[in-house]
Structure 1
Amino acid sequence: MKHLTEEQLKEIKELLVNMRERLLESAQEQIRDPSNVTFEGGDEIDRADLEEERYLTFRIKGREAKLIHKIDYALMKIESGTYGVCENCGAEIPFERLKARPVTTMCFECKELEEEHEND
């Protein structure tokens, strides 16, 4: 983390904490949403529409849970002094990349290679 200044780390930590708070607030709103109550009445099409909406909501919530995990991991790495170093090659991840994607664990080159292999 020698390549990141205290100010840069503070800025990224604030980004991560704000992202986490927004995700948790969204989850709380979803829990309080009256459309989450059991559906009574209606025809099969209405029930099918509701089930599809619930399925999509659960998929979104699953993604949000994964993102919260990544945020927590990034915050832990900041605290332990290992944030901003590529977990694949050990290179320093530039501040600009970390600011754009604060949960990243790889430098741009390693991430590109990973995506190329996924598309093979």
Structure 2
Amino acid sequence: MLASSVKKASAKNGTNAADPVLADGYEPSEDEEFMNEQQLAFFKQALKKWKQEIIEESKETLAHLQDGPIQEADLNDRASSETDWGLELRTRDRQRKLTSKIDAALRRIDEGEYGYCQVTGEQISLDRLKARPIATMTVEAQEAHERNEKISRDQ
């Protein structure tokens, strides 16, 4: 069954030939062994797709920036355009930082550490990983971490 639902990628789809590609519609399930080959392939594929989308959006932003300076005649329009660009650039900076987290998650997959909490060593739930594939902590560990941060900030 595993061999039939995991196929090797081909050069034509732009992925590494060693990267498994999942059968259409595959979703990780609690009924399977945790972080089996299919689940790892699912998350690796999702992370790579997410990173590629970020890169494409960044290229679009760069193309708009290269179009030249803002040429609005009206001062209000110019201020609005500059505000929009500032927001766009801050968003791209957050996404740049996100790509490094995606790369770290891909490394954890390659090293066999993906899906396990870096604090407790427990399994991170599949639902959490589907919602946030770069997660490094269980919900409980993340909540405790955030409580400790809040306490530190308040002191």
Whether these two folds match at TM > 0.5 is yes
Counterpart selection for 2:91 from 60, 74, 94: 60
Counterpart selection for 1:20 from 25, 36, 51: 51
Size of the aligned set, in residue pairs, is: 119
Structure whose residues are more often helix by fraction:
1
Deviation at 1:34, TM superposition (A): 6.6
Counterpart of 1:84 in structure 2 is 115
1:94 aligns with 2:150: no
Q: Which shifted more, 42-51 or 75-84?
A: 42-51
Matches of 1:50 and 1:38, distance apart in 2: 10
Counterpart of 1:115 in structure 2 is 146
Matches of 2:63 and 2:73, distance apart in 1: 23
- TM-score, L = length of structure 2: 0.68
Query: CA distance change for structure 1 residues 36 and 89 in 2, over 3 Å: closer, same or farther?
Result: farther
Query: CA distance change for structure 1 residues 7 and 41 in 2, over 3 Å: closer, same or farther?
Result: closer
CA contact (8 A) 1:4 1:95 kept: no
Counterpart selection for 2:81 from 36, 41, 50: 50
Instruction: In structure 1, list runs of 5 or more residues that go unmatched.
Output: none
Matches of 2:64 and 2:134, distance apart in 1: 29
Counterpart selection for 1:10 from 24, 32, 41: 41
The 3-state SS of whatever aligns with 1:8 is: helix
Amino acid at match of 1:91: E
Root-mean-square deviation (CA), in Å?
Answer: 2.0
Deviation at 1:119, TM superposition (A): 4.3
Deviation at 1:118, TM superposition (A): 4.0
Counterpart of 2:14 in structure 1 is none
Deviation at 1:87, TM superposition (A): 1.2
Once superposed, which parts of structure 1, at least 4 consecutive aligned residues long, lie more than 6 Å away? none
Matches of 1:85 and 1:41, distance apart in 2: 51
1:49-88 Cα offsets, whole Å, 9 max, x none, are: 1221111011111111111111111001111111111112
Counterpart of 2:27 in structure 1 is none
Deviation at 1:38, TM superposition (A): 0.4
Instruction: In structure 2, list runs of 5 or more residues that go unmatched.
Output: 1-32
Q: Which shifted more, 15-24 or 84-93?
A: 84-93
CA contact (8 A) 2:115 2:129 kept: yes
Counterpart of 1:40 in structure 2 is 71
CA contact (8 A) 2:115 2:136 kept: yes
Pair member with larger Rg: 2
